[in-house]
């Protein structure tokens, strides 16, 4: 999350950042380095304290310490404390031991996660996370695609450099046997330098959805890389890896793999066949288009429950509430329904048409409408593809933090299907594919061959199901 600040007489940049809610965990002694900010535009001079706490590379990248920052002109900064919780994965997975090191990277629209893996033991030796450097050119996939059309190649350069730097830090001079990358179709195209033109209009048929290989020298990376194949439409190798991680292709009974993000991606199937779709849910669950929306960082209301007949909020970091993140939004709507402050059709019943939560943070009627649009699109997709499924694996960061009871109460998740938070299945699946090289090609070929991509909006019934799914009522799939 970025913050724009203008110089004010008598107030240092540090003062302004503190008032904006940036915490100085060591009390502003410049000792802990936990109040890192990155200057996105403008100038904030480097101090001796910063030189001591940050590497020269970090300083060069624009990182500063908030607690001793100052500026003489307007600056825009990214506050690390407010960045999204990044979900990693260290589950133990099957391995064919071989010598050397490898890496996997989950190239998300919002966040990047890379792991260094010991190929002889399967152990995760190191982890790097970051906010996708492309994010400054637009938060969602469509804005990025449009940026690419206007400025061809800029995003490719940015992401290759950023991921490369992360991998070099992980490898620390070692040569890597191979690097597997997963990500959605837009991330795949932007990384690989493929034409994004086909992604700009229906039927959204990607130019090339196969695996793309790069020699170490081509990228100036510590090893050769392979961007795994996409499944179709906007559904990419992150979901393909998710299928591997959850063994969806090997189950007898159909299950759902559901990744809630800017695009709610839904994969449904079993050994008999798999269908996948993406729903244009919008960024509501990541705080976008919500008046008090924010990412899950310090100051975000991440949980709301009913206590003694009124709403009680949990605030991340124990700080004063500054906004609401996705899990808080879902909770707030569910708790509001329970107390009759929100009706099933989404209307707020209070005269002022707001849902006050905590410390002056309140949801508006328009916020509830955004939630209805976002959750309606996803619920419609689940209903259209998930009839009669035996279970649901919830992938991704949001899936890990959302309360299933609240999601069921507002009709985001089915009330009659067992929901299992599955963690970062994209990263785990990629690591599984890395560690079992002899099975990799066959497994990928089999999954891509058995998976059909469905364009939900092309179904004549979609509109009615979508509209019906906008109401805040529980639904069933069995």
Q: Which of 34, 129, 354, 365 binds another protein (CB under 8 A)?
A: 365
Which region among 96-104, 223-231, 253-261, 464-472 touches another protein (by CB under 8 A)? 464-472
Q: Is 114 helix (H, G, I), strand (E, B) or coil?
A: strand
Instruction: Between 137 and 214, name the residue whose CB sits nearer to another protein.
Output: 137
**In this chain, which of 205, 339, 366, 446 binds another protein, going by CB under 8 A?**
366
- Given the rule CB under 8 A, which of 87-95, 206-214, 330-338, 454-462 is the region that contacts another protein? 454-462
Minimal distance in Å, beta carbon 35 to another protein? Answer: 35
CA distances from 99 to 8, 44, 168, 177, 331 (A): 58, 46, 19, 9, 48
Strands 75-79 and 124-131, by their bridges, are unpaired
Q: Which of 137, 285, 401, 466 binds another protein (CB under 8 A)?
A: 466
Q: Could you tell me the smallest distance in angstroms from the CB atom of residue 344 to another protein?
A: 10
* Options 12-20, 198-206, 246-254, 255-263: segment touching another protein (CB under 8 A): 198-206
Distance CA 79, CA 38 (A): 7
d(CA 116, CA 338): 46
12 CB-near residues (< 8 Å, 6+ apart)? 69, 70
Closest approach of another protein to the CB of residue 189, in Å: 13
In angstroms, give the least distance from the CB of 377 to another protein: 10
Closer by beta carbon to another protein, 12 or else 471: 471
DSSP string, 274-305: EEEEEE---GGGGTTT-TTB--SSTTEEEEEE
Instruction: Show the tokens assigned to 23.
Output: 């915490």
- The CA–CA distances, whole Å, from 250 to 72, 186, 389, 409 equal 61, 28, 14, 31
Whether the CA torsion 28, 33, 39, 44 is positive or negative: it is positive
The smaller minimum CB distance to another protein, of residues 314 and 353, is found at: 353
Based on CB atoms, which residue is closest to another protein, 186 or 447?
Answer: 186
Q: Give the interface segment with another protein, choosing from 53-61, 406-414, 445-453, 459-467 (CB under 8 A).
A: 459-467
Residue closer to another protein by CB (options 20, 457) is: 457
Q: Say how many CA atoms lie within 13 Å of 226 toward its Cβ.
A: 19
The residue count for binding another protein (CB under 8 A) is: 29
Q: Yes or no: say if 75 and 39 are a contact pair by the CB < 8 Å rule.
A: yes
Q: x/- binding map, residues 320-359, to another protein, per CB under 8 A?
A: -------------------------xxx-----x------
With contacts defined by CB under 8 A, name the span among 42-50, 241-249, 432-440, 461-469 that binds another protein. Answer: 461-469
DSSP state of 228: P
Answer whether the bond into residue 195 is a cis peptide, omega within 30°. Answer: no
Here the tokens at position 464 are 């009615």
Helix (H, G, I), strand (E, B), or coil: what is residue 281? coil
CA distance 271 to 248: 7
Residues 136-155 that bind another protein (CB under 8 A): 142-143, 145-146, 149
Binding site for another protein (CB under 8 A): 142-143, 145-146, 149, 199-202, 345-347, 353, 365-366, 369, 372-373, 455, 457-458, 462-464, 466-468, 470-471
């Amino acid at each position: 999350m970025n913050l724009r600040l203008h110089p004010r007489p008598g107030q240092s940049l540090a003062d302004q950042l503190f008032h904006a809610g940036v915490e100085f965990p060591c009390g502003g002694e410049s000792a802990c380095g936990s109040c890192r900010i990155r200057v996105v535009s403008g100038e904030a001079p480097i101090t001796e304290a910063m030189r001591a706490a940050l590497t020269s590379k970090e300083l060069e990248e624009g990182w500063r310490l908030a607690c001793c920052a100052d500026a003489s002109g307007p600056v825009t900064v990214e506050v690390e404390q407010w960045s999204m919780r990044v979900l990693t994965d260290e589950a133990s997975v099957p391995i064919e031991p071989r010598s050397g090191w490898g890496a996997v990277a989950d190239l998300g629209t919002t966040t990047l996660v890379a792991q260094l893996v010991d190929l002889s033991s399967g152990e995760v030796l190191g982890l790097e996370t970051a906010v996708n450097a492309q994010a400054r050119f637009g938060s969602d996939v469509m804005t990025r695609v449009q940026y690419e059309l206007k400025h061809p190649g800029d995003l490719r350069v940015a992401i290759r450099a950023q991921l490369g730097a992360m991998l070099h830090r992980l490898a620390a001079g070692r040569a890597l046997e191979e690097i597997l990358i997963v990500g959605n179709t837009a991330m795949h195209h932007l990384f690989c330098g493929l034409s994004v033109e086909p992604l700009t209009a229906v039927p959204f048929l990607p130019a090339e959805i196969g695996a793309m290989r790069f020699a170490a020298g081509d990228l100036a990376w510590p090893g050769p890389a392979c961007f795994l194949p996409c499944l179709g439409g906007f559904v990419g190798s992150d979901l393909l890896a998710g299928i591997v991680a959850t063994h969806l292709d090997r189950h007898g009974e159909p299950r759902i793999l559901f990744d809630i993000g800017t695009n709610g991606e839904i994969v449904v199937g079993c050994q008999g066949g798999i269908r996948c779709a993406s729903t244009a849910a919008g960024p509501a669950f990541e705080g976008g288009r919500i008046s008090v929306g924010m990412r899950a960082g310090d100051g975000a209301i991440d949980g709301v429950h009913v206590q003694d007949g009124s709403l009680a909020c949990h605030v991340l970091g124990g700080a004063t509430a500054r906004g609401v993140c996705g899990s808080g939004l879902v909770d707030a709507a569910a708790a509001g329904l329970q107390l009759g402050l929100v009706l099933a059709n989404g209307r707020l019943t209070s005269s002022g048409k707001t849902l006050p939560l905590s410390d002056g943070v309140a949801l508006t009627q328009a916020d509830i409408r955004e939630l209805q649009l976002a959750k309606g699109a996803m619920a419609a997709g689940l209903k259209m593809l998930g009839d009669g499924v035996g279970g649901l694996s919830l992938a991704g960061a949001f899936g890990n933090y959302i309360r299933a009871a609240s999601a069921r109460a507002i009709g985001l998740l089915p009330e009659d299907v067992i929901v299992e938070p599955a963690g970062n299945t994209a990263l785990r699946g990629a690591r599984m594919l890395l560690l079992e090289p002899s099975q990799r090609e066959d497994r990928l070929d089999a999954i891509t061959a058995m998976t059909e991509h469905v364009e939900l909006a092309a179904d004549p019934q979609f509109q009615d199901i979508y509209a019906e799914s906008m109401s805040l009522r529980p639904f069933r799939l069995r």
